[in-house]
Structures are given as C-alpha cells and as structure tokens.
Structure 1
C-alpha cells in the first residue's frame, strides 16, 4: 500500500484534480498484493508467500466475487445513502456538524466515496487529531471528482479492496481469509456483520466490536442472539492461521518468490506435488514408532531437468530436506562401479572378493562390514552392486583410486564434497560424505541420460548446458544392474518395494547408525529421490532402505507411470552381450553386457581350493575396537580362512568348531590367539589379535 500512496500522493491544492484524472484501472494496476504467488508448470496457483511485511493484502477481488451479505452490511454500517448521493451526503454532514458542536460523542460523516479518496491520497488521511477543515474540504472535492468519472460499482469495489479491517489486514480478501479462513464469496451474514463492524475502528477492543456487531445485527433484522455473535467475534479476532491448506510447496516458494504481487511460474507439477507430499506424510506417520519424523522427495524430468516435485519437509519443520546435507550411505556405489567399468578395470561379470578386509589408514585399521554383517565369499560385480555389498565396493575404490572416484563424484554434480579425497579415505565408497537429495537425484539422472549432465531447475529453461561426464556404455551397464531383481535378491530378496511393473533402476542407502535412509532411482522418463530420517540426527530404529524410503519411492513411481510406459534403454554403440559361466559355479550362467574388448565366456576362481591354510581375518597383530554406537549384543567378529576344509577354529585354547565357513564370535576385550588346527590338533595357521573396549559394557 505504501507504494500505492507514493504513486497517488498529491498536494492539498490538487487533490480533487488528481482523483478526477485517476481511472479505476489505474488504481487497480497500482495495487500490490503483499503476497507473491507460485504457479505450477500449467500456470495453476500452487502456493502463496507473504513478501511485503508492511501490511497484509491479497490479490484484488472483483465486486461480483464479494458476498452480497458483506456488501449490504458495509453499506448499512458506513453509507446507507451511497447509491443516491454524488459523493457527499449533505444531510449526514449537517447532522455530524451539529453533533460535533453539542453532543458528548462527536461523529463523522464521510461517505464511502470520501473514504476511498482518503485511501487513495495520503494527504487526505485522518491523523490522530482528525482531519483539518482544509483536509475535509479537499476530501469532499476529491469525492465529487471520483463520482463524476467512476461508476458506483467501481467505487464500492475499490473501497472494499483498500479499506483496513483489522490490524495489518487490508482489503476484503485478507480480512476474509485471515479472520474466517474462507474466500470473500463465501462470507455469510454473521461474518459480514463482524467485518462491517471493524471498518470504522479496525483495532477496537473485543467488547466494542461485539457491541457494534450486535447493533448492526438488530438493524439488519438478523435472527441471531448477541451472545452467539459475541462468540463468533471472539473466534474471528483470535484466529491465527491465515491459510487452511497444507502449503504444498513452502520451500520452493521461499526460493522463487521475492517481489510482492508477482506470480512466478515454476516447473512443479501441481497434482504430483500434492500426491508426493501426502504420500510422504502417510509413510512418516506409519514409521513414527520407529523414530522416523522427517522426510523429503524430489522428482526430476530426465530430459529437461525440470523439478516436477519438491517436498522439502513433510515432518512440519522449517528445514529444507531437499537441499540439506546428509550422509549418503550406499547411494554412491553406482558411480564407483561405473568408473571401474568405464576404465575397463572390471566388468559386470568380474568376480569380487567379499571376505574380511583390513586397510591401514592414518587413524588406524579400517575394517568395513556388510549391512547384514555376513560375508558372501566370491560374487560377481553385478551381484556386489545390486545387493549393495560393502567390502567389494571398498576393494573397487582401491582399484580405481580414491582421487579418481572423488573426481567422478564432483563430475556428476556433488558439490558438497569440499574436503580433499584423502579426508574421506576408502569409506567414500560406502557414502561417508554428505550430499543433498537434489544433487544426488540429479547425479542419478546423469546415469539415466547415458552420462550426460545438466543442472536440475525449478524454473523452465534454466538447466544450462549439457556436458558428458561418463561413458554411455558404462552408464547403461550400471543401469542394467540396478534394474536386476535377481542380482539384488542376495540382500533384499525377490519380493520388495524396489521391484516395479515397468523398467526402473534403483538403489537404496542407509548411513552409519541409521541416521539417514535413501531410495533413489529412475525410469525411462523420471528420476525420483526420497530421504527419510531425523533432521536432529537421531537414529532410526530398525529401518532399512526397503522399509523406510523405498515404499514412498515406489508409490511415487507408480503414480508417475499410471499412463506412461517405461522401457529399458537401448544399448549404445560399443557394447555387446555374451553368455558367461563361472568356475566353480558361483552364480548361474547368464547373458551379460560388456564394453567391447572386455568380454569373456568364462570367469574362474583360480587356485582357491589349493591355497595353503591361512587365517584371512583377523590378520596377525590386528587391533579391533568395540563400536560404542552398536548394541553390544549385535557386535560380532567373523573369522575367515582359506584352504580350511576339514580344519577347526581354536581360540585361546578353546575349540570353536569347523572352519569350513565363517564363524561368528562376540568380541571380548583383551588379547587373543586364534588358530587353525587339523584333526590331530596340529596348528597349521595362527594369528594374534587384540580387542579394545569397555569390559563392563560387555556385561550389559
């Protein structure tokens, strides 16, 4: 409103002339809502955000869209002869002049047209001591000038849009939504009487407003008791909520809406945005007993990079979960395997070693564990990635080099990796770094687009240029692995939320101590990323990627593909498919994709059965530590050996049983000696190791 008054301000001497030359269109054009409006991709209103904090105004409302009950109530309260006078009510002026001289309570006689003149011109507004005689005269002249060029409907419409009702609420729309939570067209007779009672004294005490509303009700012959009207007045004046909707995109509104009265078109799909928000809220409600309180979703169009859905927070807090940095977990593994395949360091059929691994680092020995704390032995790279095995991933990052993997993650847009590669160490393969859901989902979109990178955008046409950051063939192979239900069944089983009825590639991830849970995947046309967890860092209780984020991912994917097909991508040039077998039969024969020149019909484990007996884990002189973040009852050390057929484990002189398979031992603080012995008790291999930790904790 301040800008409107500046534009329309004039000196006393030209007030009437200024009002005479202003047209209703000019007044409406100069009007500015305090709200900016967010539109979806089809131009439909999605979200409003207050930008101007001086006063609260909503978009201009046409007279036809204002309840007739309110129009009648305002005319009754403010100007009963509005339709008959020419801007000045001579009879009312005479009565007011007499009362001002002799009555105990002076009164005004401003018509609606005169009040409008005061709304349009700052110099005509009444001050604390009232208007001066000269101001009153100029107001009369301005009202007469308005009546000569405006229709009564135009005057009344402008008045209802500019008048103050209560506190910062200016105009009928702000008052209607702010006090009653409804559109101006939906105001009933009681609502209208209350609003009309506020016009004369917008900030009057509750008792004064109630008394005036009761008087207006009697004058209008309303069949309602003053007690009921008083209760309705109390409810309206105590109302705090401005909107009653679910605010479908508040985080996007805060990003894009900066100027009051402006509507900004976004890339969001309105129905999809609302569905994603409702679905995530429902999933969070079902996980509340497992200490899961927050979540976020982002949906991208693979071709354009348009952000179709952006649910920054379904848990009711101000944090934006789409841009917040959280630990990535296993969601970075696809980019590691893609790099290794691209550089021809491995194929999807290559045999990986999923046995215990110790890596010396600057802070001690790093010994990664699998999610289920079991080891699978020899498995293919396809199975290792699809089933999210940790130790093969760590071996792969040692193969590619930490710097190369770090640079690849930067290439696909993970800008949150601000420390050097050595800071993260081998654990970078298991997602030790923090990433945002938006950048992670867009990185998966790179895989969906065959290695081409563009930025994701909330506004049409702002994705920027395209650049190739990975080999199309390697990206295709990784997508084929992530779509392989059989390959992921080793860890997740065949029946889970990751399997869709259309082609899709998907990966889950869970950070250390279950603080973050991810599910990110793509179809032919869309990429969907979901995160659930707690913004305050609390761990979830017994929640995995399949039970936490994956159900939301699956529901959103199903919604997107109700009428849209998704087919597997066509293989790019430079790939070929060939039948492979394993010796020994670690996995069933299958047809596998290869980068040309890396293919082989047979993959064999060489010399395993003939290797000398040895203890693979724990290594001699190892120092193991009890993890304080893992319940004591769940901690285990898995003894591993090679060439151990027919041998037995002996720990500190106690026979533990056959050494043919991994043996699970609950660690106890102290120094220990582990031995492999034959049937005659002869020691064939031995390793001494130490377990550090709180002995008392072991008893709990």
Structure 2
C-alpha cells in the first residue's frame, strides 16, 4: 500500500516532465521570419521614382526586426507587460496559471488568462476563439517552441507579430505609424505605451479610452522600474508624460492621389503600379497651393486643391487634395473628391447644350430683372455686380458669367435636358430636375473637382468623354462622344475672349494669359467655395479654394481666390511652349455681325464684329432691313449704349463730350437735341458739344438736304 502510494506520487511528480516530453516530441513547424506573401505595393511616378508604398489591406507591418534590432528597452517593456518570469519557465508558467484560475473563480468571469509570452506567440501563430481546448493547444505549442528556439528568438517572434490595432502588426510598424519614430529612438514612456496597447489594441487606442491606456502604461513603467530596467528618476519623468500618438510623416508628395488609387484594387494588387504623376509638377502644384492658402489665410482661406489632366490621353499629372496631408485641421480631407457647390462653373455646359439646340453665340438674350416662383415667395436673382445690361449676346453673357441670361437660357433649353447632359459628362447629381430647378445653371447641385475637371477635359477633347487615367494600363479608357464638337469649340472660344469677358471682369484680368486658354470661375453662396477651371489643347487644370468646414471666406471670389492659383499653374505648364486652343472643326464659318443685334449688318449698323457659327446656323438677312431705305446719317459719338465716367479731379464745367456724325449726302440744315433741349452746332453742322452730367441721356440729330431729311439718336449713361 505504502509502495503504491509512493509510486503514484512519483508519477504525479513526473507528470509535468512526461507532458513536456510528449509535447516536444510531436511534429510541428517552426515559425518563419518575415510577413509571408502579404506585401505592400510600390507606386511609381511617371519617371519611375517611388511615390509611396500602398499598405496591404490585410496587414500594415514591417520591416521584420532581426537579431540585434530590438532595443533592450522594448524587450524589458514586453517582459514587464506580459511575462516577468519569461527567462525562468519552459513556455508555461504554472504559478501564473494558478493565479489566473483563482482570479477568474473569484470574479466569476475571465479576468486573467495566465498566458506566458510564448503562449501568446502560439496564439498569434494559430489564431482562433479562446476556449479551454484552445488553451491546451497553446500550452502544447509553447512547450514545443521553447524546446527548439532560444528565448531571444521567441521574444523577437512575438514582438514582430504583436497586434497594435486594425491591420497594424509588429513593433517596427507600430513605432513608425503611431509614434512617428524608429524603434531605437523610443523613450521609456513610449516603449511602455506600445506594449500597453497589445493587451486590447482596438479598444485602448480609441480617444475615449486614454485614461485606461495611461493607467496600463504607468503600470508597465512601474514594473520596469521594479525590474531595474529604468531608474527612479526616469520613472518619475515618464509618468508625467501625456499619452499622445504622433502622425508618421510620409514623404509621398501625392498622398490623396495614392489613397484614391488604392480604392480601385478590390482583389490582389500588382506589386508595382506605375502612374502618370509628374513628380516635379506635383511638387510645384503643392507649393503653389500652400502659397495661396498662406497669402489668403487672413481672409478665411484654409485649404486648396489642384488637379491637372493631360488632354492627350486624359492622364492625371498632378493631384493636390490639400496643402498639407498631415495638417490636423482636416488636412487628410481630399479637396479633389469633396462635394461642393460649383457656382458658375457649370454654365459652359448649359451654353454648349443651347448651341447644340440651334442657338448661336451671336444672338442676344436679356440681362434684365427676373422673378422666379419658389416655395415661400419670389426669388429675384441678380448678377455678380448687381447691374442690368439689357440685351447681351450669348458670347458676352457666358464670358462675363452673367446670371440672369443663364437662368433664361436654362429655361429655354430645359432643366431636364441640362441635368441629363451633366450626368452624361460624369457628374453624380442624384436628385430630380425639379429639385434643382433653374438654379442648376448657377451651381446649386454638388460636384467634385475631379468630376468638374474631367468634364472640362471632355470639352477640350471636342466633346469626347473618357475616364481620367490614374495608372498605366488602366482599363476602360475608350472615348465616348457626349457633346457636340462645334458647341465645344465655340464655348471654348467665348471662354478665351478677353473682350467678351470685359463687362464682367474688366479687360486684362488674371484670366487673360499670354496665350489662348478657355477658363471659367465660380463662387458658391456666401463665398464658401472658389473655383477656377480651364484648358488649352494640351492641359486641363481645375482649382478649388476654400475651407473644409464650409465657412464663408471674406469677399474671396473665383477671380481673386482660385484664379491666381489657376493662372500660375497654367503659366508653369506652358513655360516652354505657349498654349493654344484645340483646332476648329471643319465647316465653321466666321461672319461679320452687328454687335448690338447679333444679326447680319443692316442699314443702321455703325460697326461690325466677327463671330463664329457652326454649319447651318449663320443668321439669314433680315428681309425688313433689305426693304428699308438706307439711312445716310451715322452718329459717331456718342454711340448708342455708351457709358462715360466723370473725372473727380477735373472741374465739372470742363467735362464735355464732343458729339460727331457723318452723312453720305449733302447737309444744309441740322438740329442737335439733348434730352429734348437744343444744342448749338460747332464748326460743322455735324458737330456739337454737350456738358456731361450724371444720369441717362438721349442725343438726337436731325438733318435736311436737297435729297430730303434723316435722323439718328443714341442713348448713353454718365456715371458720377
């Protein structure tokens, strides 16, 4: 009996040894070094230089730290956090298991696992639900690993595989992306912080759990001090440090672009992705965007975005989503993809649709007050300068971005066809036409800079639409005709016409370049957004300026906010070769017209201008004018519609206007009238002088001769 008892006790004492022998004798595979087949993709600029590495969706890790690459400070932090008797046990710590069992029984729930660092490595190598059966498998694997690897190798495997939240894995990656440092440069509080995360990374990393994370970090720091890994002074200093995660600086000059690029690869990404990004151009556009924001910061400008498309193949050459990707004030928001109201930048597509439907740039349209019935009353829109110019040609209305003519034109062609055209161009406008109403012509929908710039590139390609190219070899780049080529070229000519732009922007504004370029600005309500988009035959450039919070800027319009940046971009792109507009399609006619009526010259036409017409749209001669007798009298000054301004530095008595006329027949008698009051002729019957006074005035000249009589009048305005 006594002998049997002794035998049983002996076997019980030997059971751990027997368990160990069984476990280490089982077949198995040593863990490999490295992260296996899951790799980052290298993104190249057009010249072959590396833009960035796209992190794997399954894993953001590396580099794998080999022998001697893990600092002692981090090793000590790991032991203090996870396994203080790591160098004393064979992979399983019986004391820790017993302690965990007691704690769990007392708490009536699982509060401690008792796992050694080696057992945690076993779990990382073979993840799964935490069950009792799984715990026994971890014990078996831990014993097996300890019999084949030295302690340093096990610790290295664990720290390279430890989770740090989401797809972030491994000490090197966590140190780089969470703290912005190499692992060799970490301070004690930072080393403890990283190891504190491993316990429950997805929860502890949240901002609302900072206090819990701080307590966990401080607990590890105190254990490190007990283990003589850090001095008492270092402990005191480390405990005072806040819990802060720093953003890792990525030298990638196009981070918004590469982030968007990454969304196109749903399955396995190619190891190398070559883009069309011009690195020199990208850095230049980034610099210009930063300059623009700095210059206008006092006026509420915080952000800017720039997109450059090569019209030859629709490839994206530069993509600036914000001036500083690392800016905590929404720097990672992508201004190229953000949806904003585009202001007047949709007007060119409205005019292109109108030209397709038979309208011409020569015909006139009213720039007069307009009342629109809306819910709650009547909306009375105004032009930017709150002036009314009467009848204006479509060319002038478009180039000067006049709102009232655009609304009338939208009413003429129809909101539904206009919305359909915009959708064909690639604009994702989800609501029905009656929701937008005529306001769609003024940009009351929301678009992205990418959609807008692609649509202008379609116009530059004579109405052929294609998807902007992000990387070389991208599928689906076939061009589809969506706009009439004649309409596109006519609109481009109007947008490049500095004379036609003068009523709205004045002559020689920032929009006038030393070469041909079509350009349009836009400003949303309350100056929230500035846009400037334009093209030559070679490039299309889109610019947005504003701030991502949607706050209004202080009087910053498209011409003062986005236009200077667009101008600098265009001048840089064409520094070696001046830009020019695409060639005219065959069949376009250039015809002289009356600038006031938009029709062919008639008997009363004082001067003509040249206008372009697509085939079959040249205006026909007015039969009434053909039958009307020719008036031999022409009033040269003032001409009808003239505007004069008083000089504040000159005495009012000296500010006079010399009125002149010519007549193709002999004049024996004349009468000059100003607002019905007679004027005294000067040296000639066809000359008179009048004193300039503020207001609207009418001059009438009546002449007689042996052939009969004739008259001519002109209305003019004198500005105070």
**TM-score if structure 2 supplies the norm length?**
0.62
Identify the match of residue 428 of structure 2 among 393, 397, 415: 415
Taking the aligned partners of 1:209 and 1:90, their CA distance within structure 2 comes to 15
Identify the match of residue 233 of structure 2 among 217, 227, 234: 227
Taking the aligned partners of 2:345 and 2:468, their CA distance within structure 1 comes to 19
Matched with 1:626 is: none
Q: How does 1:244-643 map to 2 (within 5 A)?
A: 244-245=249-250, 249=255, 253=259, 256-257=262-263, 265=273, 269=277, 271=279, 276=285, 279-293=288-302, 295-312=304-321, 316=330, 321-347=335-361, 350-353=362-365, 355-358=367-370, 361=373, 367-377=380-390, 379-416=392-429, 418-420=431-433, 424-456=436-468, 458=470, 461-533=474-546, 538-561=551-574, 566-577=579-590, 582=595, 592-599=611-618
> Unaligned 5+ residue runs, structure 1?
1-10, 80-88, 102-109, 611-643, 649-655, 662-700
- Contact kept, 8 Å, 1:369 with 1:390, in 2: the verdict is yes
Question: What is the Cα deviation at residue 552 of structure 1?
Answer: 2.9
Taking the aligned partners of 2:564 and 2:338, their CA distance within structure 1 comes to 22
Higher RCO (CA-CA < 8 Å; seq separation 6+): 1
Matched with 1:646 is: 675
- How many aligned residue pairs are there? 572
Residue 489 and residue 75 in structure 1: after superposition, are their counterparts in 2 closer, same or farther (change >3 A)? same
Residue 13 and residue 403 in structure 1: after superposition, are their counterparts in 2 closer, same or farther (change >3 A)? farther
Q: Secondary structure at the match of 2:531?
A: strand
Residue 299 and residue 465 in structure 1: after superposition, are their counterparts in 2 closer, same or farther (change >3 A)? same
- Contact kept, 8 Å, 2:382 with 2:404, in 1: the verdict is yes
Question: What is the Cα deviation at residue 160 of structure 1?
Answer: 3.9
Taking the aligned partners of 2:374 and 2:116, their CA distance within structure 1 comes to 84
Question: What is the Cα deviation at residue 191 of structure 1?
Answer: 8.6
**TM-score if structure 1 supplies the norm length?**
0.63
Question: What is the Cα deviation at residue 571 of structure 1?
Answer: 1.8
Q: Deviations over 1:589-633 (max 9, x none)?
A: 6654332444579999989999xxxxxxxxxxxxxxxxxxxxxxx
Q: Deviations over 1:408-430 (max 9, x none)?
A: 3333233316323x554544433
Matched, 1:139 2:167: no
Taking the aligned partners of 1:605 and 1:393, their CA distance within structure 2 comes to 30
Residue 487 and residue 180 in structure 1: after superposition, are their counterparts in 2 closer, same or farther (change >3 A)? same
Taking the aligned partners of 2:23 and 2:276, their CA distance within structure 1 comes to 47
Question: What is the Cα deviation at residue 521 of structure 1?
Answer: 1.4
Taking the aligned partners of 2:118 and 2:573, their CA distance within structure 1 comes to 54
Matched with 2:100 is: none
- Contact kept, 8 Å, 2:460 with 2:536, in 1: the verdict is yes
CA RMSD of aligned residues (A): 5.6
- Contact kept, 8 Å, 1:351 with 1:378, in 2: the verdict is no
Matched, 1:659 2:686: no
Taking the aligned partners of 1:30 and 1:73, their CA distance within structure 2 comes to 30
- Contact kept, 8 Å, 1:296 with 1:322, in 2: the verdict is yes
Matched, 1:29 2:36: yes
Deviates more, 1:169-178 or 1:519-528: 169-178
Q: Deviations over 1:127-183 (max 9, x none)?
A: 99x987x96565343344467xxxx99877644412468999742223322564113
Residue 334 and residue 210 in structure 1: after superposition, are their counterparts in 2 closer, same or farther (change >3 A)? same
- Contact kept, 8 Å, 1:388 with 1:491, in 2: the verdict is yes
Question: What is the Cα deviation at residue 442 of structure 1?
Answer: 1.9
Q: Secondary structure at the match of 1:568?
A: coil
Q: Secondary structure at the match of 1:238?
A: coil
Q: Deviations over 1:508-564 (max 9, x none)?
A: 012344343221112333322233345565443312111122233234444545567
Q: Secondary structure at the match of 2:697?
A: coil
> Unaligned 5+ residue runs, structure 2?
1-18, 80-84, 98-114, 201-212, 324-328, 596-600, 635-672, 678-692, 699-720
- Contact kept, 8 Å, 2:45 with 2:278, in 1: the verdict is yes
Matched with 1:183 is: 182
Question: What is the Cα deviation at residue 18 of structure 1?
Answer: 8.3
